[in-house]
Amino acid sequence: MSEPILTATNLKRHYEVKGGFMKPNAIVRALDGASFTLTPGKTLAVVGESGSGKSTLARVVTMIEAPTDGELIIGGRKIGPEGASRDRDLRAMVQIVFQDPYGSLNPRQTIGQTLMEPLLLNRPEIGAAEREKRAREMLGMVGLRPEHFERYPHMFSGGQRQRVAVARALMLEPKILVLDEPVSALDLSIQSQVLNLLMDLQERMDLAYLFISHDLSVVRHLADEVLVLYLGQPVEIGPKEQIFEHPRHPYTKALLSATPVADPLMRKERIKLKGELPSPMNKPEGCSFNPRCWRRLDICTTVEPELQGHGHCYACHNPVPEDETAAA
């Protein structure tokens, strides 16, 4: 098995918010202790509700923001509080594909210019002819035609624009690709095409993917491992098969119960969570999930649970029994 290309240990990202007149400043714990590894050729999916810390994790991994605390090691090099803004080679190792293919491309640039720009900014030693050659090769790798090189983004469909975004992210030959809801803005028929492209590119280029999504049916198709976040904290992590078939954390169980299944004969008990996601500025005492949890014990309101287990880990005082599957 390959060695991890990225290792995160107790990764945190906090923000200080001014309290206003006569009020103390508050701390927003957007990401609060995530630990995981990324391995070449494998996909770690990160799931959770809006506000769970998924996009914050993406910004920290891509070094757009530095971690407040914890350890982030990429390619054997530790990312400190100052980030990696001056380390061109390190930043090139991790690239990101955003959710919106309409907003992530410059409408004033041709597709060719869009693809060549990363090389122009980060690899100034590469000449114009070589930049164009590499951009045209990458265009073909993502399934677009040579004549698309001179066209502008408004002339493309959403699926084609996302292919361009993927191609741009790969121009610097990264080792890690962060995919932040990369297909959620696309029609269902186009989603599968882009997902199949991503799987093909991963196999050809031995890429490690950090795949952020709220769509668990997509995660089941693409992921090798799954990390479940709640209020910035990992509540469950493990191999995809274990997470989907034997979820141990009640939150994971609830997320899976809301996922549609294609089999009309399969009955699923929908678990409806009560209440809203608490504010990361004012987390509940004990387990953060306890106000919404139907398996809550007295200890859950006072003692924060730690991740337990090997391979398949979960943070819960009263986990879902193993014999209760996701389809139950």
Q: Where along the chain do its domains lie?
A: 6-93+175-314, 107-173
**Which band of pLDDT confidence, cut at 50, 70 and 90, is reported for residue 30?**
very high
The CATH number of 6-93+175-314 is which of 3.30.420.40, 3.40.50.300, 3.40.630.30, 3.20.20.70?
3.40.50.300
**Which band of pLDDT confidence, cut at 50, 70 and 90, is reported for residue 6?**
very high
Q: Whole-angstrom Cα distance, residue 137 to residue 146?
A: 9
**pLDDT, average across residues 99-119:** 91
Query: How confident is the model over 195-252, as pLDDT tens digits?
Result: 999 999 999 999 999 999 988 999 999 999 999 999 999 999 999 999 999 999 999 9
- Asked whether the CA dihedral 148, 154, 155, 157 is positive or negative, the reply is positive
pLDDT at 187: 87
228, 326 contact by CB (below 8 A): no
Query: How confident is the model over 77-88, as pLDDT tens digits?
Result: 988 766 655 678
More confidently predicted of 81 and 75: 75
What percentage of the chain carries pLDDT values higher than 70? 94
Lowest mean pLDDT among 71-80, 123-132, 148-157, 230-239: 71-80
CA trace torsion 90, 92, 96, 101 (10° rounding): 160
Integer angstrom CA distances of residue 328 from 72, 236, 273? 38, 19, 17
Range with top average pLDDT, 41-55, 95-109, 274-288: 41-55
The residue to which tokens 């041709």 are assigned: 110
β-strands 77-79, 313-314: how paired?
A: unpaired
pLDDT, averaged across the chain: 90
**Which band of pLDDT confidence, cut at 50, 70 and 90, is reported for residue 260?**
low
> Which of 56, 64, 63, 58 lies closest to 77, judged by CA?
63
Q: Quick check: 101 pLDDT over 50?
A: yes
Residue 235: which residues within 8 A CB-CB, separation 6 or more? 228, 229, 249, 251, 252, 289, 314, 315, 316
Bridge partners, residue 208, by sequence? 176
Range with top average pLDDT, 79-88, 155-164, 315-324: 155-164
- What pTM does this model have? 0.92
CA 231 to chain centre: 15
- DSSP letter (8 states) at residue 230: E
